[in-house]
Amino acid sequence: MLIIGLTLVLVGFVPAQEPATSPGSTLPNVVYILADDMGCGDVSCLNPDAAWKTPHLDRVASEGMVFVDAHSGSSVCTPTRYGILTGRYAWRSRLKRGVLGGASRHLIPSDRMTVASFLKSQGYHSACIGKWHLGWDFAMNPDEPASIDFGGPVTNGPRSLGFDHDYCLNGSLDMGPYVYVEDGRVTAAPDRTTKNDDFQGFWRAGPTGADFVHEDVLGNFTRRGVTYVQERAKSKAPFFLYLALTAPHTPILPTKSFQGRSKTNAYGDFVLQVDDAVGQLMRAVDEAGVTENTIFIVTADNGCSPRARFEELETFGHRPSGPYRGAKADIFEGGHRVPFMVRWPRRVAATTRSSQTICLTDLLRTLADVVGEPLPDDAGEDSVSFYPSLVGADQPTGREAIVHHSINGSFAIRRGPWKLILCPGSGGWSAPRPKAAREQRLPLEQLYNLDDDPGERTNLAGTEPKIVKELTLLLGHYVEEGRSTPGPRQANEGDVEFLPQPYPKTVAAAFDRSEVVYKTVGETELKLHLFRPRGVHRPMPAIVFFFGGGWRGGTPKQFFPHCEDLAAQGILAMAAEYRVASTHGATPFDCVADARSAIRFLRRQADELGLDPDRIVAGGGSAGGHLAAATGTVEIPADESEAELLHSSRPNAMVLFNPVFDNGPKGYGYERIGDRYLEISPIHNLKSAIAPTIIFLGTEDQLVPVATAEKYRDLMVASGNECDLRLYPGQPHGFFNYRDGKNPFYRQTMDATIAFLKSHGY
């Protein structure tokens, strides 16, 4: 993550015992520019082999200080931004892995101190402009669950956390809804849906505001930032501008004047457009006459994304991560080592470098030193002031160690040159990816000496057990104390699991894998992937899972871990293929028909497969959960009546993970299903004699409203059926997935599934 995105106009970083400002003096302005997905190798002054020049970023460095050992609090967007504003590692919050979506609810509670609220208490005016990606609460249509009321107020956003003004996008520029929000109101309601499937220009389908054009967003936010500086420079009150750029994150959309300028590819051109944005803000500060009294910081939220096309850039001799291993999302250095440059003519000598280890969480305590005001005990738990280094010729900051965190929730801790990674593989998107690393049984611990091995190639965990133990204990202490800085113990939000999940003690699987074709449509063979328990000779109960993916795509591999777990319980477990829109042009009706065919096949082949035809369970997630629910609820179409008489497609129990219940006008998929929704909508077909059902749903699911699930349960029970709804507070859509085995909700939902099935004789 390049330090290029945050122009922090910090007019004075000072140690707590010696504030940068004396009574009666003018407090410094702070401009913090945060680039999005830009690697430390993308800034030419930091990478002699860079394929392009970044003159404005280089100017920040030449007129100030470069920190060459700077790190984001995470290797992805949301948790890094949380850490910047709160001075606290995001894994202490409810967000233990991944990022928020474009419609996610707020992550930071209003009673937590932020950089903005702290500076507000010191008389600052502050603005948040650009990519927010920390969640806020859209108004919702009361009569349409999960439907945003774009005319209503937007609450619990930047202004609830101390900012006086905001002009923002809630998620990344590739996450809908694509609307600007200014001071708590959507500036223009959506008038269309847009999407882009280009690899570099990618953005997801989403409602798009009438005033929103993706190609114009970077320039728009830049102009707003310039205007804010120009206006606030006229005031006697100090100002804080948090300018979070949307680039060079996807969609990679350099405007016409920058296309071809880098002489590499679109990503290189986009980096140069980011560099130009930094130049515009510097010029605004200079022309406003506040250069001396402004701390100008540029950084990035994490490393470069693979969407930059690394192999293509390599042909030009360019590596976005420079000499470091990995990239965005990874626990390796390329995931979280970012450029960080500070210009502050009043206090920082030009053309200076610091080798001190700093983290983007350090902003809050550094600014507290600047203004000479201590932080309360429950703020900035992981924030260490770098003011001593900034003004004291590379003086130590006093940091004991730094904690790193990857997209899948993996941890690392570094003290001095020693970096301990507590996961096999990258913990992210680079090879070896988490699943492959565990399949290969790579070491659960990786220890690198970064002084000798900055590329993290030689794992010393086996030869330095003492260091491994010391660093593991230190990380455990940081987790337990709720802070990594001195002070009273603070509470984390929920359990923090930092140790890697051990490999099973036995290498031999308790099941055999096989495949069988259950249906042929034209030239397409649809298969069941079987996980057969070993040593079970009696007729076995069976479960068949259907994968999620909106009926458009997906893979049966989603439920392979579930199948392995249930096979160990003596259940013949299967994951089904079925036709989807992206590869077969299938409709949701085709998908439901395939699901029914799979269950009929199991009953038809029960003797050959060794299963009990009266103990067949249908399971699935999201759209796959819809298929499972549909097999147990909807009416059988006339063209399948004869087959149904021979072998029923009704399951004997259902296990549903955030399933789509409602396909009606206010439900999911109606635009593709239309007036035929009664044929496949589970909630519209509930009656008596439906199989016992257990449902798992997160309360923050943006696709399946809790109210719909509760209505489904109530209708089931009212019809005399058994229905157990399990709600998981704060969890989004897909919370139950295995991921790399570290997801606690996978284990919780699987244990509940096993208990449910056992209670019914499975």
Q: Which amino acid is at 320?
A: P
Residue 549 DSSP SS3: coil
- Beta-carbon contacts of 53 under 8 Å, excluding residues fewer than 6 positions away, are 44
Q: Are strands 653-657 and 611-621 parallel, antiparallel or unpaired?
A: parallel
Residue keyed to tokens 């949701």: 588
Burial class (CB in 10 A: 0-12, 13-18, 19+), 105: middle
The pLDDT value recorded for residue 145 is: 60
The pLDDT value recorded for residue 587 is: 96
HEC readout, 29-88: EEEEEEECCCCHHHCCCCCCCCCCCCHHHHHHHHCCEEECCEECCCCCHHHHHHHHHHCC
The pLDDT value recorded for residue 510 is: 76
Please give the average pLDDT of every successive group of 10 residues along the chain, which has 762 residues.
33 42 74 98 97 98 97 98 99 96 95 99 98 96 81 98 98 97 98 96 96 98 99 97 98 98 98 99 98 98 98 98 98 99 95 96 98 97 96 82 98 98 97 92 95 97 93 96 97 93 63 94 95 84 97 95 93 97 94 97 94 96 98 91 86 98 94 94 96 96 95 96 95 92 89 93 87
In terms of DSSP H, where are the helices of 185-332? 217-232, 266-287, 310-314
CB atoms within 10 A of CB 581: 17
Distance of CA 745 to the CA centre of its chain: 16
The pLDDT value recorded for residue 20 is: 58
Q: Does residue 276 contact residue 56 with C-beta atoms inside 8 Å?
A: yes
Residue 23 DSSP SS3: coil
User: What are φ and ψ of residue 254, in 5° steps?
Assistant: -60, 140
In terms of DSSP H, where are the helices of 387-510? 387-391, 434-439, 465-481
In terms of DSSP H, where are the helices of 513-669? 560-567, 581-584, 588-604, 606-609, 623-633, 641-646
How much is the pTM?
Answer: 0.72
Residue 544 DSSP SS3: strand
C-alpha 330/C-alpha 436 separation (Å) is: 14
Residue among 77, 5, 72 at smallest CA distance from 248: 5
The pLDDT value recorded for residue 142 is: 80
Residue keyed to tokens 């409709």: 587
Residue 204 DSSP SS3: strand
**93 DSSP assignment:** S
The pLDDT value recorded for residue 439 is: 85
Domains of the chain: 3-398 (3.40.720.10), 513-759 (3.40.50.1820)
